[in-house]
Structure 1
Amino acid sequence: MWTQPGTKMGPIILLVFFGWWGFNTLAYFVPLFYQEVLLLTPLQTAVRLVPMGVSGLITNIVTGFVVAYVPSQILVIVGLSSAVASCIVFSLIEVNASYWAMSFIVMITLPILDIAYTVANMQVCSGFPAHSQALAGSIFSVATRLGTSVGLAVTSTIANSVSTRFNKEHPEYVGTSPEVLMAGFRAAGWTCCGTVSLSLLIAIVGIRGIGLAGQRRPIVEKMKDGQDIELAIRHNEVADAATTSSQNVDIAVASASVVTLTASYVDSANK
């Protein structure tokens, strides 16, 4: 599976792991920034998160139209580059700045990473025969969940460590003050930026030549009669084997007949 020609299974799984480390982890810290640093209510936070949902919806609709025309690598790079930009803006965000100046940029650029999810998932599943597509899709899904789990654990640890060190250097602040928390949130943003940048590097180097998503089907293309090529090949192999066996039987029968006739002729001659 990992060496299946044309699927790029290994690079795509690594890409998804590090990409979703940054994506879901940053999506976790953004609401915390609104509530713990800006001290907004849950309703105010929810309103500020609305552009993220709208951006994700538009991204997936547009992806559905362009995925058949734009090379998959380009789409993945666009999605990851947008997420990198979102992480950088979050890490440099000014607490007292207007929502529209920086926070809004984070909201609309982060969900564009969904392009990479759609394209990578189609590439992984369509590159395998029918009996292996479920396994390939499961591995892809596990990579996203594992990346999210590991990302949240590691990044939260880094954020807490940085906040604790900042608090020791500035004892005038309490441990839960916005200034202390923001130091850790910035560290979390840079951590997410690093993981998504690594994913972007993998996309640039590791998935070159994958073509259009969903159209590279060297094994699972359908024949006119609806059979898979792989099944047709197996059917032909079985038919060839049966034909060969039948021919061998015919030869054996013919040889036995010749031997019998020869023996009869010899007996007649002796008499």
Structure 2
Amino acid sequence: MNKDACPSPSTPTSPGLPSPSPPPMPPSTKYLMIFSVAGSALLPTFQSGCLTVALPTIQKSLNIDEANLQWPLTAYSLTYGCFLLLSGRLADIFGRRLLFLLGNIWFVIVSIAVAFAPNPTSFIILMALLGLGPATFTPAGVGLFGATFEGETRAKAFAAIGVGQPLGGIMGLVLGGFLCQTAASWRSFFWVQAGCGLVFIVLGWFSLPLDDMPDDDTTAKRVGRIDWVGAFLITTALALFNFSLAGGPSAPQGWRTPYIPVLLCISIILFAGFLWWEHTREKLGKSVMIPLSIFRVRHVGILLAVVLAAWWSFNSIMYFSTLYYQSVLLLNPIQTSLRFIPLAIAGTCLNIAAGFLVSRARPHYLIIGGLLGSSIGAILFAVIDVHASYWSMALLVMILIAGPDLAYCVCNIQVCAAVDKQSQSLAGGLFAATTRIGTSIGLALTSTISTAVSDRFLSGHPSLLASSPSVLLKGYRAAGWVCFAAAAIAIVMTAFGLHNMPIVIEADVESYEMGEGRHKQMPQAHAKLGGEV
């Protein structure tokens, strides 16, 4: 399939091709669609928040060994992060509405099953299966917004997704902590999230646009357009990479545990093999999992690097803030979750502001503004006074570290603008996968440095225990400085690499595609996405 085979918006509709101009969507349907997709974006963070605060209760209920306590969250995160790219590709081929609804249906069914888990093994396995739900509906939802909306409506839609994430996390922390104290206990919040998922399925069924597929595009043809070898290589590489990074700090011998470096090396080899495979198939004009030419699009490579560093800083400081509250200040889960409420409020406000400003302000100003807040928050965390009141320092940390939420909408829109409408879910999967990789790398390296600093302090103070707040605090302060460095690197990359990135609004889409933002080879990359097997 060559470049000329791809229809452009100006190409008249011919038999067998989808209509390029769907009828306008009524405002009520538009708002229901935004609520359905943005509401679904709330579910993964709601789940993580509930599980984080409820793990001690679940441990007692199911008699989970201390050594296996991290596995429910790890298993959920692994499947969630590893299948994002494949799901995005499948959504672009088989239909975004179909994959969005299937992902939500899966999430509801498995959530109900988790609520009945009788033992640790079944609980961990079901948590791994649960992660497939958001891995499926997340890129499909982003693709629906990217392909359906334009201009300020698109900005508001992406901002709504951004709002859902911090709200979901804090709702999960607060509601999870509350429900764990009731007779319903931890199993009840799986029923709650299943009920929410069912509501979003019903709303999506009535509001999401039908998948616009050519009449002669059979299922067999669509299956043939999937690069199965590339899908296997990238999914396996992501799984082993995330597993080794997540398991390294807690392995029996830490990073020296034999299987950790072995799996890490295998994942790197698989990544290299994936890049070679995709490059070879793209040169031959065959179907690919990810067209590598997308990284030659102006700004895309640097933009994804900024996203990786920003989410490294954000999620790491979130993680260590939780440890600080519980292990240094010795607060209980409910007290800890209440201290994160300002973070959710700040994140919501920043996402709303981003939806308004993204079509009015230069993108790099918004990204740098958010990252400056994140970096200052990390510094405050690194020098925090444990004797000071929450209102004098910790509150500022909670507000400032929400900075990347200002960049979320901007970065997501820019990545989706770099590809055509037929590849919007793939772009959404690529963006989400980058945030997951940044989180995995960030937590692994930041935790390693934090542990090393605490161990060094402990060796000089043998009278203390490894679990002493003073020992842990040394490592947590080091973690704060690492998070500051990650945010600072992201600021530098933005200032020098993204300073001429255009504002993406409806009036600028054509100019962006013709050279200001999108690389001239992107139509060719799209041809290869649907090329020969």
- TM-score category, normalised to shorter length: 0.7 to 0.9
Q: TM-score, normalised by structure 2?
A: 0.40
Distance, in Å, in 2 between the alignment partners of 1:83 and 1:205 is: 19
Q: Deviations over 1:34-93 (max 9, x none)?
A: 110011111111111111111111111111112111111100010111100010000010
Residue 218 of structure 1 aligns with an amino acid whose one-letter code is E
Answering whether residue 334 of structure 2 is matched by residue 43 of structure 1, we say: yes
Residue 133 of structure 1 aligns with an amino acid whose one-letter code is Q
Distance, in Å, in 2 between the alignment partners of 1:171 and 1:102 is: 31
1:133 maps to 424
Q: Deviations over 1:74-113 (max 9, x none)?
A: 0001011110001000001011111111100001111121
2:202 maps to none
1:84 maps to 375
2:353 maps to 62
**Superposed counterparts of 1:240-251, under 5 Å:** none
2:450 maps to 159
Q: Deviations over 1:220-271 (max 9, x none)?
A: 98xxxxxxxx7xxx9xxxxxxxxxxxxxxxxxxxxxxxxxxxxxxxxxxxxx
Q: Deviations over 1:97-150 (max 9, x none)?
A: 111111000011111211111101101101221123332222211110000011
Distance, in Å, in 2 between the alignment partners of 1:4 and 1:70 is: 22
Judge conservation of contact 1:2–1:9 (CA < 8 Å) in 2.
yes
Residue 3 of structure 1 aligns with an amino acid whose one-letter code is R
CA RMSD of aligned residues (A): 1.9
Among residues 82, 91, 101, which one is paired with 2:392 in the alignment? 101
Among residues 311, 315, 338, which one is paired with 1:20 in the alignment? 311
Residue 11 of structure 1 aligns with an amino acid whose one-letter code is I
Answering whether residue 277 of structure 2 is matched by residue 4 of structure 1, we say: no
Distance, in Å, in 2 between the alignment partners of 1:213 and 1:17 is: 21
Distance, in Å, in 1 between the alignment partners of 2:401 and 2:479 is: 15
CA displacement at 1:214 relative to structure 2: 4.5
**Superposed counterparts of 1:167-206, under 5 Å:** 167-206=458-497
Residue 297 of structure 2 aligns with an amino acid whose one-letter code is Q
Distance, in Å, in 1 between the alignment partners of 2:295 and 2:307 is: 15
Distance, in Å, in 1 between the alignment partners of 2:385 and 2:491 is: 26
Judge conservation of contact 2:502–2:512 (CA < 8 Å) in 1.
no
- Where structure 2 has 5 or more consecutive residues not aligned to the other structure, the ranges are 1-293, 514-522, 528-533
Q: Deviations over 1:130-173 (max 9, x none)?
A: 12333222221111000001111111111111111100111121
Distance, in Å, in 2 between the alignment partners of 1:134 and 1:219 is: 22
Distance, in Å, in 2 between the alignment partners of 1:213 and 1:93 is: 39
Among residues 97, 113, 118, which one is paired with 2:404 in the alignment? 113
Distance, in Å, in 2 between the alignment partners of 1:141 and 1:124 is: 11
Answering whether residue 518 of structure 2 is matched by residue 217 of structure 1, we say: no
Residue 314 of structure 2 aligns with an amino acid whose one-letter code is F
CA displacement at 1:3 relative to structure 2: 1.7
Among residues 313, 317, 321, which one is paired with 1:30 in the alignment? 321
1:243 maps to none
Distance, in Å, in 1 between the alignment partners of 2:505 and 2:475 is: 41
Question: Which aligned segments of 4 or more residues in structure 1 are displaced greater than 3 angstroms?
Answer: 213-216, 218-221
Distance, in Å, in 2 between the alignment partners of 1:102 and 1:18 is: 24
Distance, in Å, in 2 between the alignment partners of 1:149 and 1:214 is: 33
The structure with the largest alpha-carbon Rg is 1
Judge conservation of contact 1:122–1:214 (CA < 8 Å) in 2.
no
CA displacement at 1:198 relative to structure 2: 0.4
Distance, in Å, in 1 between the alignment partners of 2:452 and 2:409 is: 35
Distance, in Å, in 1 between the alignment partners of 2:401 and 2:477 is: 16
CA displacement at 1:211 relative to structure 2: 2.2
- Where structure 1 has 5 or more consecutive residues not aligned to the other structure, the ranges are 222-229, 235-271
1:249 maps to none
SS across alignment from 2:327: helix
Distance, in Å, in 1 between the alignment partners of 2:512 and 2:489 is: 32
Distance, in Å, in 1 between the alignment partners of 2:511 and 2:430 is: 19
Distance, in Å, in 1 between the alignment partners of 2:386 and 2:310 is: 26
SS across alignment from 1:2: helix
Distance, in Å, in 1 between the alignment partners of 2:373 and 2:448 is: 25
2:237 maps to none
Q: Is 165-174 or 125-134 further displaced after alignment?
A: 125-134
Distance, in Å, in 2 between the alignment partners of 1:145 and 1:214 is: 28
Structure number with the bigger relative contact order (C-alpha 8 A, sep ≥ 6) is: 1
Judge conservation of contact 2:382–2:477 (CA < 8 Å) in 1.
yes
Distance, in Å, in 1 between the alignment partners of 2:463 and 2:400 is: 36
Residue 330 of structure 2 aligns with an amino acid whose one-letter code is L
Judge conservation of contact 2:351–2:408 (CA < 8 Å) in 1.
no
Distance, in Å, in 1 between the alignment partners of 2:302 and 2:512 is: 22
